[in-house]
Amino acid sequence: MPLAKKDIVQQYVERYGQEPPLVIRAPGRVNLIGEHTDYNDGFVFPLAINRAAWIALKPRSDNKVVVYSVDYKETKEFSLDGLTTNGKEGWIEYIKGTAWALQDAGYKLSGWEGVLAGDVPLGAGLSSSASLELATARAFASVGNLPWDAAVMAKLGQKAENKWVGVNCGIMDQLISAAGKADHALLIDCRTLASEPVPFPAGTAIVVLDTSTRRGLVDSAYNERRSQCEAAAKFFGVKVLRDVTIDQFNAKAGELDEMTRRRSKHVITENDRTEAAAVVMKKGDAVSLGKLMNESHESLRDDFEVSSDALNAMVDNARKHPGCYGARMTGAGFGGCAVALIDAAQADDFVAKTSAGYEAQTGNKPAVYVCTATDGAKEV
């Protein structure tokens, strides 16, 4: 069962003996299609999921932030005056880093204290860190009466991640955690940050398929892919691959070295697939949407080379089921989760058979579950 408001309220009441004046929820995400496109100024199509970071809190009259983590069973605190890193360790750094990014953007912050809990699995590619950054931003916004603009706050969350935590991510995770819409996926243009909510085809369900594998080398491989994309853009005479069409690519592809050719082919075709996915989804066409998701996986596996044996095994098992329209790895890759679009009426059977098939093939115990699309960061 996903965490609910009553769970975090109960945690707060246990520590403070009364109900919290404020409860904040900021979700994790799963991306339907549009992978490794965000840092190329391209398109992504994620949904905010019913797994989230929760903070129950009360304002303080001083400049301190004091947080008890239910998951780590420890309290950490810091002062908003002259934020320092102290070696940057652990979950509190996401909160500190977000405070720093908000202050750096000129917001005046006031202190608060409370409890934090989350059920976005860590390191699974479902954006647990973005959920914590946006929960923090929302907490400061509520306590300090700051204006809430989802795109602005997402960029500050990203800045915390890039500059404080030191992970060079794009904008997708923070933006969907900030701007998600219940029952919809968001087609996001990562150049303008404009987003368009699109409802799911009737009778379908979205399934998260966690391989329960985690790969340590994700960061370096991710940075390497980013550099390769930059080099490819340079070759085409543009800043970002968003600005290369498939015709331009085809005309010059022969002059590229094999690796740059494959990396850029993925990004350019993935952008086209993502826009196409929104078009077919608006028509309620689950079959075409599933097909695009399948093609995305093949492209990530063969051309962008960010899949893994476990992810491929999960995707293969998912696709064996008659209720599956399409399945692909989701997030940065190298481990973590896949996502599938399925016939909702066959959900139980799909979950059971895909889990069993994957476990039999790999020996790993997966976590496979239907998820629902929720709103972005807000007071609840």
Near ligand GLA by CB under 6 A: residue from 170, 180, 335, 376 = 170
The number of residues making up the chain comes to 380
Nearer to ligand GLA, 185 or 351 (CB): 185
Q: Is 349 a known active-site residue? A: no
Closest distance between ligand GLA and the C-beta of residue 80, in Å? 27
Distance (Å, whole) CA 314 – CA 318: 6
Site for ligand GLA in 69-98 (CB under 6 A): none
Distance (Å, whole) CA 148 – CA 146: 6
Nearer to ligand GLA, 295 or 343 (CB): 295
Closest distance between ligand GLA and the C-beta of residue 274, in Å? 10
Closest distance between ligand GLA and the C-beta of residue 132, in Å? 13
Contact 166, 88 (CB under 8 A): yes
Near ligand GLA by CB under 6 A: residue from 41, 173, 210, 303 = 173
Q: Which residues contact 42 (CB under 8 A, 6 or more apart)?
A: 34, 190, 191, 240, 241, 242, 267, 270, 271, 274
- 332-348 burial, b at 16+ Cβ within 10 Å, e below that, comes to bbbbbbbbbbbbbeebe
Near ligand GLA by CB under 6 A: residue from 27, 331, 357, 366 = 331
Q: How many residues bind ligand GLA (CB under 6 A)?
A: 10
For position 180 contacting ligand GLA by CB under 6 A, the verdict is no
Distance (Å, whole) CA 22 – CA 17: 15
Closest distance between ligand GLA and the C-beta of residue 29, in Å? 9
Near ligand GLA by CB under 6 A: residue from 134, 172, 280, 339 = 172
Instruction: Read off φ and ψ for residue 307, nearest 5 degrees.
Output: -85, -175
Closest distance between ligand GLA and the C-beta of residue 360, in Å? 29
In the numeric block, the tokens 């094999």 are attached to 258
- 25-55 burial, b at 16+ Cβ within 10 Å, e below that, comes to bbbbbbbbbbbbbbbbbbbbbbbbbbbbbbb
Nearer to ligand GLA, 110 or 168 (CB): 168
In the numeric block, the tokens 């915390």 are attached to 160
Q: Is 143 strand, coil or helix?
A: helix
Distance (Å, whole) CA 377 – CA 329: 25
Near ligand GLA by CB under 6 A: residue from 332, 368, 373, 377 = 332
Stretch that binds ligand GLA, among 91-99, 167-175, 280-288, 369-377 (CB under 6 A): 167-175
Site for ligand GLA in 15-54 (CB under 6 A): 35-36, 38-39
For position 164 contacting ligand GLA by CB under 6 A, the verdict is no
Near ligand GLA by CB under 6 A: residue from 101, 137, 141, 169 = 169
Put the strands of the sheet holding 337-343 in their side by side order: 324-329, 337-343, 204-210, 367-371
Tokens of 380: 């609840």
Catalytic pick among 41, 173, 303, 343? 173
Closest distance between ligand GLA and the C-beta of residue 128, in Å? 11
Nearer to ligand GLA, 38 or 295 (CB): 38
Closest distance between ligand GLA and the C-beta of residue 43, in Å? 11
In the numeric block, the tokens 């919809």 are attached to 184
Nearer to ligand GLA, 8 or 277 (CB): 277
Stretch that binds ligand GLA, among 54-62, 165-173, 228-236, 354-362 (CB under 6 A): 165-173
318 Cα distance to chain centroid: 21
Q: Is 264 strand, coil or helix?
A: helix
Nearer to ligand GLA, 158 or 354 (CB): 158
Residues that bind ligand GLA (CB under 6 A): 35-36, 38-39, 169-170, 172-173, 331-332
Residues involved in catalysis: 173
